Amino acid sequence: MSSALGEFAYSTSLIVFPLIVLALTGSPSQAGIIGFADAAALLLSGLPAGAVADRYDRRSVMLWCQAALVAVFGVLALLLWADAASLPALVLLALVNGAATALAMAAGEAMIPSLVAEERLSDAVAMNGARTYAGQLAGTSVGGFLLSVRSALPFVVGCLAHLVGLVLLLFLRRQPPAARAPGDQPVFGGRGLVEGVRWIASHPFLRVGLVCATATNFFFGTIYFIVIASAQTSGMATGLIGVMAALLGVGGLLGALAAPLLQRALPGARPIHVVLWAFVVLTVGIATLPGGWTPGVLLGAIAFAAPTANAYFTTWQLKLTPDSHRGRVVSVAAIASGGGGAIAPLAGGIVLDAAGRFAGLLGCAAVMAVVTLLTSLSPALRHAPEPRGQEPEPPGSGPADPTSSAAVPARGPSSPVT
């Protein structure tokens, strides 16, 4: 629940920040700076955030992050209420917002296997995704409404959301710092910070899966931008464009809720292959099928399928990674996949200008078909590897508990984050 509230507040700030700067300065370019600052802080904090999550008690890390976010949103609300906000102050607070969010995300996801039994890990990952989608949907819609009432209100509500999340985290048991594995570098040294990269590179399943996830996020973002931009330039009503965006969010939320059932119906690595081929076919449908509602429905269908593959890959990523490395591996995965999505709008604009909507969408579908074919033929992704025996054991530890997830005993509540 705490993660959903955090996502709600972050999504609220994401849509409101540029609009406030635009109203304050009248400059679209300066409005873009604020979004860039937030995204840059989120990405640049990734490796240090993972190191912090692997060095300190993850519950304490999340508590400090929530406290910092309560302060950020509170200060923003006060500045806007008093009409004392300035662009430098907003940029600084956006940087802190992005960095604290990155820390909380790394610590929260790395902590999941220690909070649930191994047989429930996949369901926990899927439900965590559902909470994220729910927070994004609510934050995006509520933020715009509150902004129309008074500019400070989105941050008042965001401050309260983070405060409730902070209180909920107090009910989690303390999490001891992750045990150091033999040969692991100090987490804050140069080699320690990139240990997550080394770990992923040494495991074919993680390496190929992350490349696949990054490519998929990039092409989905590119396709989404082409659809939205071409709809706007063709004169489509803004209300219908908003409905397309809403269908995307609703599809993702429903897909996350359905992911546990779909994973049982699609054993092994099939979720990844089915989702990727569905992505290709639905992209061709977006390019060729008529109807103003068709792109939104098909984008929603893609979003519905994606959480099943995401939950499958994330579950095995957590299983294959020792507790001593989880924060850094989670952060590297977030940087790679998030980076692909971040540059997608730029690529979408270039493709739309150079090739147009029809050829651009078919070109994206063709490249994704090649990626999907290579993924389907990849031995690394045909079967998930066995996690036990691939992890370094902490010093002085005995054999891995056969009932544990990645040699970390399950304890605490059944949900990943309270």
Least confidently predicted of 153-157, 232-236, 370-374: 232-236
Which residues share a beta bridge with 408? Answer: 405
C-alpha dihedral sign at 312, 313, 316, 321: negative
C-alpha dihedral sign at 284, 289, 294, 295: positive
Higher pLDDT, residue 131 or 187: 131
Instruction: Check if the beta carbon of residue 360 is closer than 8 Å to that of residue 351.
Output: yes
Report the C-alpha gap between 94 and 42 in whole angstroms: 10
Report the C-alpha gap between 54 and 47 in whole angstroms: 11
Q: Average pLDDT of the chain?
A: 79
Instruction: Check if the beta carbon of residue 330 is closer than 8 Å to that of residue 395.
Output: no
C-alpha dihedral sign at 230, 225, 137, 279: positive
Instruction: Check if the beta carbon of residue 326 is closer than 8 Å to that of residue 394.
Output: no
Does 379 score more than 80 pLDDT?
Answer: yes
DSSP code, position 113: G
Closest CA to 322 of 98, 145, 110: 110
Does 292 score more than 90 pLDDT?
Answer: no
Residues 67-97 as b/e (b if ≥16 CB within 10 A, e otherwise) read ebbbebbbbbbebbeeeebeeeebbebbbbb
pLDDT at 404: 31
CB atoms within 10 A of CB 233: 10
Report the C-alpha gap between 228 and 236 in whole angstroms: 10
Name residue, tokens 């902490």.
Answer: 394
Give the pLDDT confidence of 44-94 residue by residue, as tens digits.
Answer: 888 888 888 888 888 888 999 999 999 999 999 999 899 888 888 888 988
Question: In degrees rounded to 5, what are phi and psi of residue 147?
Answer: -65, -35
DSSP code, position 366: H
Which residues share a beta bridge with 405? Answer: 408
Report the C-alpha gap between 124 and 315 in whole angstroms: 9
pLDDT at 66: 92
Interacting residues of 88 by C-beta distance below 8 A, sequence separation 6+: none
Closest CA to 108 of 306, 288, 318, 251: 318
Give the pLDDT confidence of 309-355 residue by residue, as tens digits.
Answer: 888 888 888 888 888 888 888 888 888 877 777 788 778 888 888 89
Instruction: Check if the beta carbon of residue 42 is closer than 8 Å to that of residue 173.
Output: no
Instruction: Check if the beta carbon of residue 400 is closer than 8 Å to that of residue 189.
Output: no
Report the C-alpha gap between 203 and 195 in whole angstroms: 13
Higher pLDDT, residue 241 or 370: 370
Give the pLDDT confidence of 138-150 residue by residue, as tens digits.
Answer: 776 677 778 778 8
Cα 143 to the chain's mean position, in Å? 19
Cα 372 to the chain's mean position, in Å? 22
